[in-house]
Amino acid sequence: MNIFKGALSQLNTASKYLNLKDDILEKLKSPDRTIEITVPYKKDGKLMTVRGYRVQFNNILGPYKGGLRYHQEVDMDEVKALAFWMMIKNAIVGVPFGGSKGGIEIDPRDLSEEELEELSRNFAKMLAPNIGPYMDVPAPDVNTNSKIMDWIEDEYSKVTGKRQKAVVTGKSLTNGGSEGRKEATGLGGFFVLEQLIKKLGLKKPLTVAVQGFGNVGSNIAKILFKYGYNVVALSDAKGAIYDSSGKGFNIELVKKCREEKGYLAGCYCIGSVCDIARKYDGVIPKDELLELPVDILIPAALENVITAKNAGAIKAKIVFEMANGPTTPDADKILNKRGILVVPDVLCNSGGVTVSYFEWYQNMKHEKWSLEKVNEKLKEKMVKAFEEVWEIHKEKKVDLRTAAYILALKRLAEKMRL
């Protein structure tokens, strides 16, 4: 099943619990607008082109909102699925935004900083008629960051002749970015996880494996380490490390080491118990991380990593989805049948867009909030969203993903009926 069809199947499952008219459901299954552009850039002085995408799924709840991904495997189906999930996520967490997503089919590691800047500015110039603070607001995602958002904001302002900081979120702090945005996705996930373990009566320390050590993975690992979880396994695109003693890594030290070495597999002794981890030599094939005997598995890299092929081998009691779409619908069924609790992406990782909303709001109102205020408001939103999803999960006796979709569908349908 392709990724977009898989995403729609989650909507179909939830819609059975609501008395929705067919026309409402149909409207929620197709994007309002898909944009595909050819973006020019220079590589080693030679003129090149690459495909760029933006999908505006719908703006029922507010301006379209969603990240920009730079990755060699980006395509229209993936961007459509990601835009659809943004629509669902924003409805769950209760921010006044619709759903969108974009991307460029490129591996940014192949480009110099100047080449990357030119590509990003050209993309912004071509997207300018279709984005804006009240129209569509991009943000960072895989392989994009505050520097890229700053270039896009600057180019958009040049093209339109107006300084409009709120055209993108996830900007640098000196360029209208919000305190707390960089850590927001990880911190938001942490607030949800803390509520969940309270509900389940679980006691710390709990062992955790985190797949992906980028913005989301490294931040949630750092926060979990700080608050008494034992993060025993970590991976990035190049490899994985595992501390089989169960004590876990000092994530601050691992982060520093990774920054120095550029990859995780060289950091297995850092802040860990090397002698015990030696059994595995501390370094394991990266996909084995998914099948380790841990309490909580956190996929925080890319989609479709838990599939029908490996779902039977997952040993974690909880799969906590920080990446978008890490579990295929087939795998989801297998995990549910095996009694593994899957906490869905559209709830777990909605902290990022929540603080993006705070950034947009601050820009629009010319305000500057403190980190304490941002984090307090983030906690409020995440705890509320979790409690609402949990209530539906209990009341309707459905899995957490279906419960989250029921909540989103209700909110979208109510607005569509107005």
Residues that are catalytic: 101
Q: Applying CB under 6 A, which of residues 141, 154, 332, 359 lies at the interface with ligand NAD?
A: 141
Distance separating alpha carbons of residues 378 and 354, to the nearest angstrom = 7
For tokens 């370094």, what's the residue? 283
Q: Which is nearer to ligand NAD, 350 or 402 (CB)?
A: 350
- In 3D space, the residue among 405, 404, 376, 400 whose CA is nearest the CA of residue 196 turns out to be 400
Q: Is 237 in the site for ligand NAD (CB under 6 A)?
A: yes
**Which residues does 128 contact at the CB level (< 8 Å), separation at least 6?**
155, 156, 159, 160
Q: Is 363 in the site for ligand NAD (CB under 6 A)?
A: no
Rounded least distance, CB 244 to ligand NAD, Å: 19
Helix (H) or strand (E) holding 65: strand 64-70
Rounded least distance, CB 122 to ligand NAD, Å: 21
The dihedral region occupied by 282, where left means phi > 0, alpha psi between -120 and 50, and beta the remainder, is left
Q: Is 72 in the site for ligand NAD (CB under 6 A)?
A: no
Q: Which is nearer to ligand NAD, 20 or 408 (CB)?
A: 408
Q: Is 78 in the site for ligand NAD (CB under 6 A)?
A: no
Q: Applying CB under 6 A, which of residues 11, 142, 232, 294 lies at the interface with ligand NAD?
A: 142
Q: Are 342 and 326 in contact (CB under 8 A)?
A: no
Q: To 10 degrees, what angle do helices 3-15 and 76-93 make?
A: 30
E strands present in 79-191 = 99-104, 136-140
Q: Applying CB under 6 A, which of residues 56, 90, 178, 235 lies at the interface with ligand NAD?
A: 235
Q: Is 323 in the site for ligand NAD (CB under 6 A)?
A: yes
Q: Which is nearer to ligand NAD, 82 or 413 (CB)?
A: 82
Rounded least distance, CB 23 to ligand NAD, Å: 30
Residues 184-213, interacting with ligand NAD (CB under 6 A): 185, 211-213
**Which residues does 210 contact at the CB level (< 8 Å), separation at least 6?**
217, 220, 221, 231, 233, 234, 235, 298, 300
Interface stretch with ligand NAD, choices 103-111, 230-238, 266-274, 275-283 (CB under 6 A): 230-238
For tokens 């500057």, what's the residue? 368
Contact residues toward ligand NAD (CB under 6 A) are 140-143, 185, 211-217, 235-237, 286, 300-302, 322-324, 349, 352
